[in-house]
Each structure stands twice: as structure tokens, then as C-alpha cells.
Amino acid sequence: MASGAGVVLNSGHTMPIIGLGVWRMEKKLIRDLILSAIKIGYRHFDCAADYLNEAEVGDALAEAFETGLVRREELFITTKLWNSDHGHVLEACKDSLKKLRLDYLDLYLIHFPVATKHTGVGSTSSALDENGVLEIDITISLETTWHAMEELVGLGLVRSIGISNYDIFLTRDCLAYAKIKPSVNQIETHPYFQRDSLVKFCQKHGVSVTAHTPLGGSTANAELFGSVSSLDDPAIKGLAEKYKRTPAQFVLRWGIQRDIVVIPKSSKLERLQENFEVFDFEISEEDMEEMKTLDRKYRTNQPAKFWGIDLYA
Ligand SMILES: NC(=O)c1ccc[n+]([C@@H]2O[C@H](COP(=O)([O-])OP(=O)(O)OC[C@H]3O[C@@H](n4cnc5c(N)ncnc54)[C@H](OP(=O)(O)O)[C@@H]3O)[C@@H](O)[C@H]2O)c1
């Protein structure tokens, strides 16, 4: 598999199989990280209005285009509609495009299958009620939001549209009402949370899967959610050693061999390089089988921490 490898989406567009996620990337580091990533060979960046750094990503991208480092059409840029903007899809998309300094997005995702109280376009708030519970808006259906996403394609603002954090029930429903099928479902998946049923269901119906949290969130999720990362798993360390790779490289390669797009985040230059060096080795079928035994059905990203409600319960 060449480093330029990509997944052909049901929209006909190709999505590079590895991308750089920018959640929790400090604003002041973004310019160097994005420009370095492009030099390394990254052509895919995963953003979101809620990461509050679209403007910094946009400045870095503009510099990359102006200096001739890369052309716009060589990059694949994803961003996401925040929960509080489900009733304002067009304005939210335009707001993201403005911040990212782009004419079009390669992929626009519904970040979570839940509409929440609107507090102004782009404010990406998660308003809580007097009990500290997320103010969920029960007047906007996901179907309504999806049809608004479809209109963005017609307007030429977005090339592909997709969903994120949808389970099988919600994905099935979306496929039933969609005039334009979702190209992607971006979900948490890593060795401790393999979700084979959901992955296979999506792929069977032409919905490509992107793994968010592909490294299990490593130390970042350990600090934020108190979770445990599979990068420290002795079995994974052993398998990585067998292939003379780091655990992160092994885990990313494992994801790619499941035909899943991976979007690891790192704020360390040497790790940007490390995480991209996953195209010159192949994990054997036996070891892919062995990996199945490590699943713990264990989510490491728990938004309930901020929302006072467990939407996955
Ligand atoms: N759709 C959604 O709801 C959703 C949710 C979560 C994430 N995402 C997307 O998915 C992307 C990735 O998820 P994530 O950042 O939460 O988790 P992740 O990529 O699984 O893990 C990031 C953590 O791993 C560390 N790391 C990176 N490379 C490493 C390596 N080679 N060896 C050891 N540790 C390494 C990073 O630390 P350093 O930075 O210090 O290297 C950071 O602590 C996000 O940036 C975002 O774009 C989407």
C-alpha cells in the first residue's frame, strides 16, 4: 500500500487513509504542525468547529497554498457541524469555510447525532440546564439536519457529507431517508473498542469508516477521562516489536488493514513522522486474528463528563 493510498468514497471522491486530527492541538503550535505534516506527506486534516482552532488551521493552509507547498486540490479537509448548529447548517458551514479560508470542504460531518440548544452560529456551546444536564433540542430531527447537509453538496460548498458517532440503528435510519448517502461514519475505534459489527455494517452499505481516537487517545484521554490506552498493552507491545515498529505504528497499520481511515493526533513533530510510517509493512492474517482477542468493548472518550448525560447509555 503506497503512502498515497486512499479510500474511494461513495461520492466518488478519494479520502487519504491517514489524516491528522487537530482536536486539542494548541493554537500556537498549529502552523508548524500543519506545515510539517504536509512536508511529511499528510494530505488529510480532520477538523471541527468545536475544536475552536479552525482559524489557525485556515491560516496554516493559506500559507501552504501561497508558498506553493501544496495545492488545494491535493488536500482533503474535513470539518464538523456542532450540536448547537443543527438548525443552522448552511450558516455553520459557511462560518467554518470562512475560518478555514476555503471555498469548499472535502467532507462535512454531523459531529454527534444530537441537536442541542442553539446559542449563535459557530459558538459551539453545550448549554446545560439547572441540573447540569445537556440542553437537548427535541424539535429538530436528524433527518431534517441531514437534508440540510445534502443541500450543501448542491451548493458546491461540500464535496462529501457524512455522520459521526452514529450507531447501527442511526446509520441504518440515515441510509433510509438519505437522498445523498453518508460517505463516512467517523466513530471511536481502536484495539480496545473494535466495534466490528458497526464497522462491517457501514462498509457493507458503502459508508466508509474513519477511526477517531485511533490510538485510544493515549495519554490525552488518560488525563481527560481517566481511560487506559491499548498502546501500553503488553500483547500489542509484543506484536509491534515483532514487526520492528512502535505500538502506535502497529495500531495504525491494524486500523488501515481493517479498511478504516485513521486520523491520529500528535503535537510532537517526531510523532507526526512516526505515525505516517505505516505503509511499508503488513500485519499477517494470523496477527490480525490475534488482535480480535484484545477487544474490551471499551470507550476511552466519554463526553458525558461535560454533558451530565451519557448519550451512549
Ligand atoms: N468525531 C468525534 O467525535 C471525535 C472525537 C475524538 C476525536 N476525533 C478526531 O480524532 C482525532 C484523534 O483522536 P484523539 O486525538 O482524541 O486521540 P488519538 O489520536 O487516539 O490519541 C492522541 C494522543 O496520542 C498521543 N500520541 C500521538 N502519537 C503517538 C505516538 N506515536 N506514540 C504515543 N502516543 C502518541 C498524543 O500525544 P501528543 O500530542 O503529545 O503526541 C495524544 O495524547 C482528533 O484529533 C479529532 O480530529 C473526533
Say if 6 falls within a structural domain: no
Cβ proximity of 164 and 212 under 8 Å: yes
If you take atom 34 of ligand 1, which residue's CA is the nearest one?
Answer: 218
Say if 213 falls within a structural domain: yes
Say if 167 falls within a structural domain: yes
pLDDT of residue 197: 98
> With b meaning 16 or more CB within 10 Å and e meaning fewer, what string describes 111-142?
bbbbbbebeebbebbbebeeeeebbbbeebeb
What is the pTM assigned to this prediction? Answer: 0.98
61 CA to centre of ligand 1 in angstroms: 20
Residues involved in catalysis? 51
Say if 2 falls within a structural domain: no
Residue 144, CB-side half-sphere exposure with 13 Å CA sphere: 11
24 CA to centre of ligand 1 in angstroms: 8
Distance CA 252, CA 262 (A): 7
Q: Percentage of residues in the chain with pLDDT exceeding 90?
A: 96
If you take atom 43 of ligand 1, which residue's CA is the nearest one?
Answer: 220
Tens digits of residue pLDDT in 6-54: 999 999 999 999 999 999 999 999 999 999 999 999 999 999 999 999 9
pLDDT at 240 over 60: yes
> With b meaning 16 or more CB within 10 Å and e meaning fewer, what string describes 237-268?
eebbeeeebbbbbbbbbbbbbbebbbbbbbee
Total tally of structural domains belonging to the chain? 1
143 CA to centre of ligand 1 in angstroms: 30
Say if 306 falls within a structural domain: no
Cβ proximity of 46 and 261 under 8 Å: no
Domain of 188 in residue numbering reads as 13-301
Residue 244: CATH number of its domain? 3.20.20.100
pLDDT of residue 1: 40
If you take atom 37 of ligand 1, which residue's CA is the nearest one?
Answer: 266
Say if 3 falls within a structural domain: no
For residue 275, what are the CA distances in angstroms to 9, 19, 27, 41, 278?
23, 10, 21, 11, 7
pLDDT of residue 95: 98
Ligand 1: residues whose CB is within 6 Å? 21-23, 46, 111, 164-165, 186, 212-220, 231, 246, 248, 263-268, 271, 274-275, 301
Say if 135 falls within a structural domain: yes
Helix axes 234-242, 247-257, angle to 10 degrees: 80
